[in-house]
Amino acid sequence: MPKSIDLFGFFALGLMTTICYGLEDCPIDWKMYESVSKEKALIKCLLDRYKNYSTVGRPVTNTSDMISVEFGLSLIQIMDVDEKNQVLETNVWYTYKWTDALLQWDPEKFDGLQKIMVPPESVWIPDIVLYNFADSRLKEQRTALVNVFSDGEILWMPQAILRSTCAFNSTWFPFDEAVCYLKFGSWTHDGTKMDINFFDGKEHFMVMDFVKGNEWDMIGNYGNKTVKIYECCKDVPYLDLKFYVRLKRKTAFYRFILLLPCALLSCLTLTIFWVPPESPAKLQLGMNIFVAFFVLLLLLSESTPKAAESIPLIGAYFCLSMVMITMSTVLSTVIANMFFRGVRINRAPRWLRFLMIDIIASVLCLKKDLVEPETRTENQNNYSYKTGNQCSDEMRYAKLRLLDNGRESKNHTVGFGVSASDSEQNNVHCGTSHEMSLSQSLSDDIHTIRLILEQINEKRAKAEMREKCLREWKVICCVTDRLFFISYLCINIIGIVVIFFGQNN
């Protein structure tokens, strides 16, 4: 009896194993599985079949058959856009769909059971991976059961957080856009073994459950299938799917942090060029605005990647504004130093006067207001000095010389007269001595007056020369400020047009 039981059990077990591991059906002796549901019995049978054939290798009937896998991505959220490290972090759902010849059964024999769920490590899974990953983690997916249908169709939808490389161009910051892609393909199977297609023909992200972000808006997405031949394997093609996502930055935050202060400082910078050059307030205002632009530049550097290939236009605008403010402040410092401490330098070079006064002032229509009155006053002063002062002084000097010479000749004539009497000679001698003393005193006074007048004229000439040099430098500074004002105004207009409207074109 025991032998017959053993033989019968062995025969029944062999028969069940042979049928269970067949590819067409999976019949079960329900007397052995009375305590469990038909679903668990079916799952055990199918997994035992897989253990017998192993999960390694494509689940196809013939080796020459190509397995077709449909792959899709559902974009749930854009978690982070790391521009400094050029990394895009996204929350996605994978969608795999393929047919497994080892996972088929007859639903009529299992109470109409059409679908079961099995662990992914127990069946064959296509090795479709992210090519442009930028993640230090060894595993990016979360565990999810595999949906198996009675006809052998497999549907697997695991969750994953992906970190992929993405090149960001910060030229148009903060009105910039970015186009990132996620490239997926089989790491080991070439195009002759595995065919990869988009899930349900949807060549884009599935965004039914997409959650909008606070910093970036998704304005478009698309995908394409490419065939590429790598250097390692030039004889066979490899298939891959690329999912592109187009992002646009939200500017509400940057409008109040960067753009509004920039606009206010730009308007304030325009007033610098209208402050008189000799005013100390111009120096203080220029330095304060320079520091404010520098602070904005630091805030900008923290928000953009440190790359030399693409420099934000707004950063170039900040730097250019700082350069113009610096040049205007330096010129104002020179003029203020000359104004308060005196002219300690020579006249402006001839080429500088020709360039600034004769050319640029004429182009800017400033020569009539700034240059001509100064020139006319200078000519009048020179003329009056030459014709009036010099002539009058020379006339005075001539009269004084004649008076001095006349008195000397008179003294000489009286001293040597021979026709007068003794009393008259004594009187004349006394009068002559008195007149000689008066004449000598008057001559000394005239000589002193001459020296004083010469010193006064010399000081006047130096003062006029000093005033002339100072006036020339002030005119040059005023013309330069006006030139900076027009240049800065043009730069502001061009910058606004380029930054706000150039990116859309």
Residue 454, domain member (yes or no) = yes
What integer pLDDT is reported at residue 199 of this predicted model? 92
323 vs 227, higher pLDDT: 227
Shared-domain flag, residues 32 and 74: no
Q: Please tell me the least confidently modeled range out of 176-180, 183-187, 385-389.
A: 385-389
Residue 467, domain member (yes or no) = yes
370 vs 85, higher pLDDT: 85
> d(Cα 187, Cα 125) in Å, to the nearest integer?
12
Residue 60, domain member (yes or no) = no
Write the CA distances from 150 to 44, 52, 113, 171, 445, integer angstroms.
15, 20, 8, 55, 135
**DSSP class of 198:** E
- The band of 26, judged by pLDDT with boundaries at 50, 70 and 90, is low
Shared-domain flag, residues 400 and 432: yes
Residue 308, domain member (yes or no) = yes
Shared-domain flag, residues 304 and 186: no
pLDDT above 60: residue 196:
yes
Shared-domain flag, residues 452 and 477: yes
**Which CATH number fits the domain that encloses residue 206?**
2.70.170.10
> d(Cα 99, Cα 336) in Å, to the nearest integer?
86
- The band of 330, judged by pLDDT with boundaries at 50, 70 and 90, is confident
Residue 425, domain member (yes or no) = yes
Q: What is the mean pLDDT of residues 370-376?
A: 48
Inter-residue contact 156 to 147 (CB < 8 Å): yes
pLDDT above 70: residue 475:
yes
Shared-domain flag, residues 363 and 262: no
Shared-domain flag, residues 321 and 368: no
Main-chain phi, psi angles of 408, to 5 degrees:
-65, -40
What integer pLDDT is reported at residue 205 of this predicted model? 92
pLDDT above 60: residue 492:
yes
**Which CATH number fits the domain that encloses residue 299?**
1.20.58.390
Q: Which of 250, 276, 300 is the last residue of a domain?
A: 250
Inter-residue contact 165 to 86 (CB < 8 Å): yes
Q: Which of 324, 341, 358 is the last residue of a domain?
A: 341
Query: pLDDT tens for residues 300-313?
Result: 887 777 665 677 88
Q: What is the mean pLDDT of residues 200-206?
A: 90
Shared-domain flag, residues 37 and 129: no
Shared-domain flag, residues 205 and 311: no
pLDDT above 70: residue 396:
no
Query: pLDDT tens for residues 106-143?
Result: 888 888 889 999 999 889 999 999 999 888 777 777 88
Residue 4, domain member (yes or no) = no
Inter-residue contact 325 to 290 (CB < 8 Å): yes
> d(Cα 22, Cα 135) in Å, to the nearest integer?
42
Residues of the domain holding 140: 67-250
Q: Please tell me the least confidently modeled range out of 142-146, 205-209, 490-494.
A: 490-494
Domain count, the chain: 4
Residue 356, domain member (yes or no) = yes
Shared-domain flag, residues 105 and 220: yes
Shared-domain flag, residues 197 and 264: no
Shared-domain flag, residues 85 and 227: yes
Give the tokens for residue 477: 């500074």
Residue 416, domain member (yes or no) = yes
